[in-house]
Structure 1
Amino acid sequence: MNMKKQTNTLFLAQSAMIAAIYVVLTVALAPFSYGEVQVRVSEALTILPVFTPAAIPGLFVGCLISNILGGGILPDIIFGSLATLLGACFTYLLRNRNKFLAPLPPIISNILIVPFVLHYGYQVPLPIPFLMGTVGIGEVISCGILGMIVYTILDKHRTAIFRTAV
């Protein structure tokens, strides 16, 4: 197999595995994964674009499938998944900066997008600034705290786990 084909296969395999893990964590922990107050443990995986660009489509597809399986309405499926995609893209762009900046993009993108979906899509009668706070707390726990734990563990084994030529 030539190098380019091998790299593409590895990229696809990593993306698929990340999507699958995201879905399994979200669905298995469903009571915490959905609603106006949520700590979606799978969002800890949004740290992965620091290690591989394959995490970007993996996180997007994983979030998309999770939102569909969770019975989300169309605006949630679309905009919730886009929030994760934006967070993953900007985390990738920050990969060579201070490691503590890496969880900020998914936290910020979810704080700016998800409360509007909750308020206007699901008709949650809470004020948007309050929903920004509840979403933010959940994202800080999942991305900021759990994500940095994932980062610390994976950083020790970076080359063995994420061997890509990308």
Structure 2
Amino acid sequence: MNVRYLTKASLIAAIYIVLVMIQVLPFPLANLTFGPIQLRLAEGLTLLPLVEAAAIPGLFVGCLISNLLLAAYSGFGLIDIIGGSVVTLFAAYLTSKMKNKFTGMIPPVVLNGVIVSIWVSYFTKIPYFYTVLGISAGELVSVVIFGNLILYVYEKATNFKEY
């Protein structure tokens, strides 16, 4: 790893944290960052591993720090702090192996929906199936809208550098 790679990973982690914090500050939106329906704006960053390898550790660290800082909001404890972050790491790695942005959307949506729903369903007492639907739908919206926007901006910035 070189300085450039670490810098990019750190910036992506910082952006993830800021996006989660911005969403939590107006308290009514805090319920959308944790729980049976999750619409984290920061999850749009999960498409970045398609075009940037440093996004893999950046997303993991950003998610880990966000979950740690906001553990009081979630109420799910250590399982969410570590488990949610590891799911993000695995999803980011799998996304980096995908061929295009459409297949790249599959790992974060499916893994978060299927795995994170296990403990969210348990703690909220909402049936697993409904929790999977809520988390997957929120993740899909985040990835489709914000992820594509982030990829567009990233690609424009990369093309701008070439001139």
Same fold (TM over 0.5): yes
Alignment of 1:110-125 (within 5 A): 110-120=112-122, 123-125=123-125
User: Is 1:84 the counterpart of 2:77 in the alignment?
Assistant: no
Change (3 A) 1:78 1:93: same
1:27–1:33 CA contact under 8 A, matched in 2: no
Structure 2 residue runs of 5 or longer lacking an equivalent are 25-29
Residue of structure 1 equivalent to 2:79? 75
Q: TM-score, normalised by structure 2?
A: 0.86
Distance 1:158 1:46 in 2: 18
SS in structure 1 at match of 2:46: helix
2:56–2:89 CA contact under 8 A, matched in 1: yes
Change (3 A) 1:14 1:50: same
SS in structure 2 at match of 1:63: helix
- Equivalenced residues, count: 151
Residue of structure 2 equivalent to 1:103? 105
1:18–1:59 CA contact under 8 A, matched in 2: yes
Structure 1 residue runs of 5 or longer lacking an equivalent are 1-6, 162-166
Residue of structure 1 equivalent to 2:10? 16
Residue of structure 2 equivalent to 1:164? none
Q: Deviations over 1:95-123 (max 9, x none)?
A: xx132211211111101111102123xx2
1:15–1:56 CA contact under 8 A, matched in 2: yes
Distance 2:100 2:54 in 1: 21
Higher mean C-alpha deviation, range 8-17 or range 111-120 = 111-120
Distance 2:21 2:141 in 1: 18
1:80–1:114 CA contact under 8 A, matched in 2: yes
Q: TM-score, normalised by structure 1?
A: 0.85
1:129 Cα deviation from its structure 2 partner: 0.5
Distance 2:90 2:158 in 1: 23
1:44 Cα deviation from its structure 2 partner: 0.3
Residue of structure 2 equivalent to 1:153? 153
1:38 Cα deviation from its structure 2 partner: 1.9
Q: Which amino acid aligns with 1:57?
A: P
1:26 Cα deviation from its structure 2 partner: 0.5
Percent of residue pairs bearing the same amino acid type: 38
Task: Please give the root-mean-square deviation of Cα atoms over the aligned residues, in Å.
Answer: 1.5
Residue of structure 2 equivalent to 1:3? none
User: Is 1:57 the counterpart of 2:66 in the alignment?
Assistant: no
Residue of structure 2 equivalent to 1:28? 22
